[in-house]
Structure 1
């Protein structure tokens, strides 16, 4: 019988300065630094010497340099002895992953050679060399092997060959970041890995913000023969979570004996087994347990938006040294979504403190500079951590002002009303004094250039005021610290560049920058029910608007969708085709004439596609300065991280558009 308390996967991540850690995946180019390798071995030394790791087989992730080549490795040790260093063979090099930039894959399957340990490790283990390569560990009662992160996702996953060669336990310490609607992929892969050929699979995933746009959402699990028998939380404020199970190895052997055709010969060279004098099972156990599958209920996308970005914001806040957040709250869907995510963060903090999480309590007391404070009411906590401000101009409506005020009152934020007209007129006065000209809005007879410049000056002044209040708002109240400015531009607006460069979409961080407008609307509907935020109902009913042009009879005439030339629903479809399906103008047109044939003619589809690519190429430069955003969507246009396309284009797309026109001519 296997007791998982004797087998531990360790994946230490930098979450708090008091933690002992081995580097996470977010080190990026720090992997080039010798300091990173040195400090990893120093932490490994501490783990080897710790009494907490005694009589447990530990599987730890860290970078290792071997023959002047850097590998992403698992280091397996037991009782101050390193048993095996297993380098990663299949690297991830897509999406946000750049492993080939820092590591080389181990390209010698089932080959093991000697690795010379650093002196500091030799002093602890008494070993000069240890096995390094694609080997497995053989105990007295079973055999186990490691996969590393993306190897589980690869069509040539090592667990297939390992299972055929008799390895019964697979470990995988992963850095799988959160994306909306992705959690079921991991679960299905782990279940599939043990359904095909039996076995026990231990999957541990990184948790928290690793200092970047990504949030690692946990989901640790243990599976046997296709059943998940233990699982961890997907979103949690806990720094450490332990998942355990007691399983019967005979269940694996029975499963394989019936299903996996033991008469079939293993075609490849057998894995080199590193023998160790240790048992994972207890010889005196007589009661063999029957494992019970657990039901995995997946979060809805709305719940994921409520939980994932909120956990990311909390990690960012507690590690930043700041005292809270400031958000320009316009009364629209986007900024209201950001506000609701902050409120959800406060809900999770209060729940964690109520459940006895001493680390969260310590962190929140440090953030609010009150060692006696104990958060119990999310609204009260929101008032301490969150400042919202409505920045009105002569183009703002009473409706949006009231919507922002009502939402702020329901979530409990410290709300400010700021009028920017004086600052706008001051800026225009400087321009007029130099040039002798005073620009006019289009509604007052001005040109398109004047109209755009007048909109932009309002938007940019809001950004300046947001940072001014973020830095000095608490100072004016006699409180310590500053505030982090939150942005609220969604992923669809980033695609077309439908925002002013360096306006109030420019912020320190943006929790919704990877979320589509359609998902945000569903999220706000969820918040109405989940948090009883009834102020959101009128926000959802109102047409999205920037409110940068003059009102007509006190009413809004400017709407986002009219300005963009397409609906948010259409833009989400186009965004997925552009990034996920890798479509240029012509191939996008060819796909859309089929999916939109009931709604638009080929010429109408052509017009929308060409308009999108003109806007995309004209505004692509804005992605070089866009606020770092929570990564939640796999069609994010995030420059230099997720989307590596250039930012300078020929905006005419002459060849591509001509091909589209030729197709339209033949069709119509």
Structure 2
């Protein structure tokens, strides 16, 4: 009996409702897997239609289109002689399921529905699908007519079953099932399943890869066996980025790992596995008694298709793939690569000519511009590596010169436009200079302008219409808070209108009227959005906000990392500058400060945000926690250099945060006096 088998998993850049191209990428991944000698291939979750279809999952057309695309795959002879695990939604007895379709040589062996659905955070799978609530049970599914002709029968098995080959047995689980306490892979392993596939649509968040790797490592270290993890890659036309990183683990060790942030549309990862190592490992761990007494038994669908051959076992040129150390990116690298890959994916499919950033001279818009520069570095690297798809996209988008850009700066000049919108009394020479220096360093097409004339016209509407002269609160005599806020918000909203105005016309002024407009990028970090420290419909309003889920502390670390790794010395000035919105007049004794306006530091805001989101703490719970972390009377641990406050001050800060958080949510949780 053969014991060496080659298996394949993949990351695919699938787009919602892009059926034909999604199918082409699936077929390409199958061809690459076969070329590497693989006899089993697994792809991402819902790969035929794309994961982010939202309420399109409620439309009957989607299910018809998926069956039509599956028919193409089943008819393609180049997809024969390999077991295929393909993801698509299926309706069974008028219930919608998120399914795996297990195929071989033009026929379906099994339709396996997802048992546990992701339904928290960004996921709403229960809105669109129903979980299969009968583990280890199966029934018959009535196939569409087009598939019946290929199948040679009207029905196929539907449910929680596994596939048995002459030398091994494999079963499928889907994304969220890996994360559940009573995971299907444990029951399958106890019933003798040696290879488990996992098809995911797992989106990226900072520091998440370690969690994913630990779970797969634990699954295979505790149970023994082979685990093939496949994931969606790219932005899918939605707000989320799926970070790929397909991998293969054996007995708790990584033997193959794909890239986490790639511009490749198709990436296939393969490994040759010695099944005898799985059996030997399982015999040496405490599983025998539990396996023998387990009452969980899976229906095995028999096939005589062999994943390996005895000839391979005797071929000294073929050897099992050796373990490797798992690769992790630092959080700073994750910001650079994830957001860069997302922005390229979005741009190349948007049909627009590039991006525009209102560049203020502050660290937030600086981070956004640096992220676009990171994108350009990735794209140029892919071009130099000969990525045909990226090269074709660059030729289509970058048309301001006849030659394809050779450096990140050259590409940046083609697709990134930055605009500094100053005010004579509010804007400092330092911010204007920093914006100019950054634009020069990264190569963006930079515009330097002032908005005084528009601001004065808007201000004079009040003066001439209401016979009232509004004043800033810092002027003498001072204006009211309402007057000052109105005058600040005029500037902020003028900048939004100006950004979109220039985004529409800049390609035309650069002699590319056919290119359409630019996508406007925002620069509001997650803390400011949480606190509500922004003007509604100001220059934080944008088509995409790349830093919208990143807090100030991580942005600072990213800029410090970029200063060294991207070779941009001027970034140091952004790190040392005092954060300011520059919406109030500057005087000898006053410069507007963000932290003073907010009534809290950015470090405090980061703490509040993380305690609210990750620890799920309300006002009282947060106060209790911070009494341990911030009290001046606490017992300090080594390296504890955190703040020290009286209890009343901690309570005041917590109440202040939740007051503004509530206002920003348009709900007042308590009276404001």
Instruction: Give the alignment's TM-score, normalised by structure 1.
Output: 0.91
Q: Hey, what does 2:540 align to over in structure 1?
A: 505
Residues 204-223 of structure 1, C-alpha deviation per residue, up to 9 Å, x if partnerless?
11100011111000110001
Task: Output aligned runs, 1:590-609, within 5 Å.
Answer: 590-598=624-632, 599-609=644-654
Q: Hey, what does 1:289 align to over in structure 2?
A: 319
- Once residues 370 and 414 of structure 2 are traced to their aligned partners in structure 1, the CA distance between those partners, rounded to angstroms, is 15
Determine which of 513, 525, 537 is the counterpart of 2:572: 537
Determine which of 156, 163, 168 is the counterpart of 2:189: 163
Instruction: Report the alpha carbon displacement of residue 263 of structure 1 after superposing the two structures with TM.
Output: 4.4
Q: Hey, what does 1:31 align to over in structure 2?
A: 57
Change (3 A) 1:18 1:160: closer
Equivalent residues of 1:136, 1:143 under 8 A apart? yes
Equivalent residues of 1:618, 1:651 under 8 A apart? no
Q: Tell me if 1:271 matches 2:298.
A: yes
Equivalent residues of 1:85, 1:131 under 8 A apart? yes
- Once residues 414 and 19 of structure 2 are traced to their aligned partners in structure 1, the CA distance between those partners, rounded to angstroms, is 24
Q: Hey, what does 2:656 align to over in structure 1?
A: 611
Residues 632-667 of structure 1, C-alpha deviation per residue, up to 9 Å, x if partnerless?
xxxxxxxxxxxxxxx42334289xxxxxxxxxxxxx
- Once residues 520 and 278 of structure 2 are traced to their aligned partners in structure 1, the CA distance between those partners, rounded to angstroms, is 53
Task: Output aligned runs, 1:469-480, within 5 Å.
Answer: 469-479=502-512, 480=514
Determine which of 93, 96, 107 is the counterpart of 2:122: 96
Instruction: Report the alpha carbon displacement of residue 269 of structure 1 after superposing the two structures with TM.
Output: 3.5
Equivalent pairs counted in the alignment come to: 627
Residues 410-434 of structure 1, C-alpha deviation per residue, up to 9 Å, x if partnerless?
0000110110000001111222222
Q: Tell me if 1:181 matches 2:207.
A: yes
Q: Hey, what does 2:583 align to over in structure 1?
A: 548
SS in 2 for 1:499: coil
Q: Hey, what does 1:389 align to over in structure 2?
A: 419
Determine which of 218, 236, 251 is the counterpart of 1:225: 251
Change (3 A) 1:375 1:52: farther
Q: Hey, what does 1:19 align to over in structure 2?
A: 21
- Once residues 484 and 651 of structure 1 are traced to their aligned partners in structure 2, the CA distance between those partners, rounded to angstroms, is 40
SS in 1 for 2:192: coil
Equivalent residues of 2:233, 2:242 under 8 A apart? yes
Q: Hey, what does 1:459 align to over in structure 2?
A: 492
Equivalent residues of 2:356, 2:503 under 8 A apart? yes
Equivalent residues of 1:10, 1:60 under 8 A apart? no
- Once residues 500 and 156 of structure 1 are traced to their aligned partners in structure 2, the CA distance between those partners, rounded to angstroms, is 46
SS in 2 for 1:562: helix
Residues 453-505 of structure 1, C-alpha deviation per residue, up to 9 Å, x if partnerless?
00000000000000000001111222132110000000000111000000000
Equivalent residues of 1:331, 1:539 under 8 A apart? yes
- Once residues 530 and 241 of structure 2 are traced to their aligned partners in structure 1, the CA distance between those partners, rounded to angstroms, is 22
Equivalent residues of 1:498, 1:564 under 8 A apart? yes
Instruction: Report the alpha carbon displacement of residue 18 of structure 1 after superposing the two structures with TM.
Output: 6.3
Q: Tell me if 1:562 matches 2:596.
A: yes
Q: Hey, what does 2:354 align to over in structure 1?
A: 324
Task: Output aligned runs, 1:187-586, within 5 Å.
Answer: 187-264=213-290, 265-285=292-312, 286=314, 287=316, 289-369=319-399, 373-394=403-424, 395-444=426-475, 445-479=478-512, 480-481=514-515, 482-553=517-588, 557-586=591-620
- The answer to which of 441-450 and 70-79 deviates more is 441-450
Superposed CA RMSD in Å reads 1.7
SS in 2 for 1:207: strand
Instruction: Report the alpha carbon displacement of residue 318 of structure 1 after superposing the two structures with TM.
Output: 0.6
Instruction: Report the alpha carbon displacement of residue 270 of structure 1 after superposing the two structures with TM.
Output: 1.0
- Once residues 149 and 68 of structure 1 are traced to their aligned partners in structure 2, the CA distance between those partners, rounded to angstroms, is 24
SS in 2 for 1:442: coil
Residues 318-367 of structure 1, C-alpha deviation per residue, up to 9 Å, x if partnerless?
11100000000011110000000000000000000100100011111111
Instruction: Report the alpha carbon displacement of residue 6 of structure 1 after superposing the two structures with TM.
Output: 5.8
Change (3 A) 1:12 1:473: closer
SS in 1 for 2:311: coil
SS in 2 for 1:144: strand
Instruction: Report the alpha carbon displacement of residue 261 of structure 1 after superposing the two structures with TM.
Output: 4.1
Equivalent residues of 2:201, 2:232 under 8 A apart? yes
Residues 252-280 of structure 1, C-alpha deviation per residue, up to 9 Å, x if partnerless?
11111221443442322310000011110
- Once residues 503 and 293 of structure 2 are traced to their aligned partners in structure 1, the CA distance between those partners, rounded to angstroms, is 65
- Once residues 320 and 433 of structure 2 are traced to their aligned partners in structure 1, the CA distance between those partners, rounded to angstroms, is 60
- Once residues 408 and 232 of structure 2 are traced to their aligned partners in structure 1, the CA distance between those partners, rounded to angstroms, is 27
Instruction: Report the alpha carbon displacement of residue 125 of structure 1 after superposing the two structures with TM.
Output: 2.3
Gaps in structure 1 of 5+ consecutive residues: 621-646, 655-668
Equivalent residues of 2:527, 2:551 under 8 A apart? yes
Q: Hey, what does 2:641 align to over in structure 1?
A: none
Equivalent residues of 1:145, 1:170 under 8 A apart? yes
Change (3 A) 1:8 1:49: farther
Residues 90-134 of structure 1, C-alpha deviation per residue, up to 9 Å, x if partnerless?
111111111111111101111111001101111222231110000
Residues 181-230 of structure 1, C-alpha deviation per residue, up to 9 Å, x if partnerless?
11111111111111011100000111000111110001100011111000
Gaps in structure 2 of 5+ consecutive residues: 24-47, 633-643
Instruction: Report the alpha carbon displacement of residue 557 of structure 1 after superposing the two structures with TM.
Output: 1.4
- Once residues 401 and 486 of structure 2 are traced to their aligned partners in structure 1, the CA distance between those partners, rounded to angstroms, is 49
Instruction: Report the alpha carbon displacement of residue 8 of structure 1 after superposing the two structures with TM.
Output: 5.7
Task: Output aligned runs, 1:116-135, within 5 Å.
Answer: 116-135=142-161
Equivalent residues of 2:400, 2:414 under 8 A apart? no
Instruction: Report the alpha carbon displacement of residue 3 of structure 1 after superposing the two structures with TM.
Output: 6.0
Instruction: Report the alpha carbon displacement of residue 138 of structure 1 after superposing the two structures with TM.
Output: 0.4
Instruction: Give the alignment's TM-score, normalised by structure 2.
Output: 0.91
Equivalent residues of 2:3, 2:276 under 8 A apart? no
Equivalent residues of 1:9, 1:171 under 8 A apart? no
